[in-house]
Amino acid sequence: MAIHLVIDGYNLTGVMTMPGQAAMDLEGIREELIKRLQAYKRIKGHRITVVFDGKKSGNFYRARANQGGIEVIFSKDGEEADQILREMAKSEESSMTLITSDRAVASFAEAHNVVTMSSGEFDAILSMAIYSDIKGIVDEGEENDMPTKKSGNPRKLSKQERKRFQRIKKL
């Protein structure tokens, strides 16, 4: 099952550290994020969608673009990216993983059985994957790390938490 990462764009750029970020304009920061996500997609092969706020853009329709395999969506004038993220969480397949630090959006998504991750957590995973690619470090077996026969402590995490940890391992 292929993972579909749906990212709250400005939320993630808010936690990312970029050299020369203070001198970059909003468009430059967006482009840097997309460049990093393109590298991540090349490494991992996941489907990636980034949603940005365009509520003061003057656009009457949502703008969609494909930049190097990354689907980019801008909300229309007067609409927040959170609204698009909620719609996607409601209608998306079970392979969706939502990256946002917005607790209201994350809670809504979790209520619709979508795995969520904070932007800070994903930024660390993104940085490590790109670093590993640059250094030539290869991921070793990530599938089937959990034993099939139960033994030991009968107390276990909730089904949603187990699903979340499995998804994080695949990132």
Q: What is the pLDDT of residues 83-136, one digit of tens each?
A: 999 999 998 667 899 999 999 999 999 999 999 999 999 999 888 888 877 777
Q: Are 48 and 35 in contact (CB under 8 A)?
A: no
Q: Indicate if the pLDDT at residue 141 is higher than 50.
A: no
Question: What is the CATH classification number for the domain harbouring 141?
Answer: 3.40.50
pLDDT at residue 39 greater than cutoff 60: yes
- pLDDT of the residue at 127: 87
> Number of structural domains, the chain?
1
**SS3 of residue 70 by DSSP:** strand
Which of the pair, 10 or 151, is modelled with greater confidence? Answer: 10
Average pLDDT over residues 30-43: 90
Q: Are 114 and 98 in contact (CB under 8 A)?
A: yes
- CA neighbor of 36 nearest in space, from 9, 63, 60, 54: 9
Considering only residues 129 and 6, tell me which one the structure prediction assigns the higher pLDDT.
6
Domain containing residue 61: 4-170
Q: What is the pTM of this model?
A: 0.76
Average pLDDT along the chain: 82
Average pLDDT value for residue range 4-15 = 91
* DSSP letters for 141-158: --S--S-SS--S-S----
The pLDDT assigned to 92 comes to: 67
9, pLDDT greater than 80 = yes
Q: In what order do the strands lie in the sheet with 4-8?
A: 63-67, 70-74, 47-52, 4-8, 96-99, 115-117
> CB neighbours of 3 closer than 8 A, spacing ≥ 6?
46, 47, 95, 97, 167, 170, 171
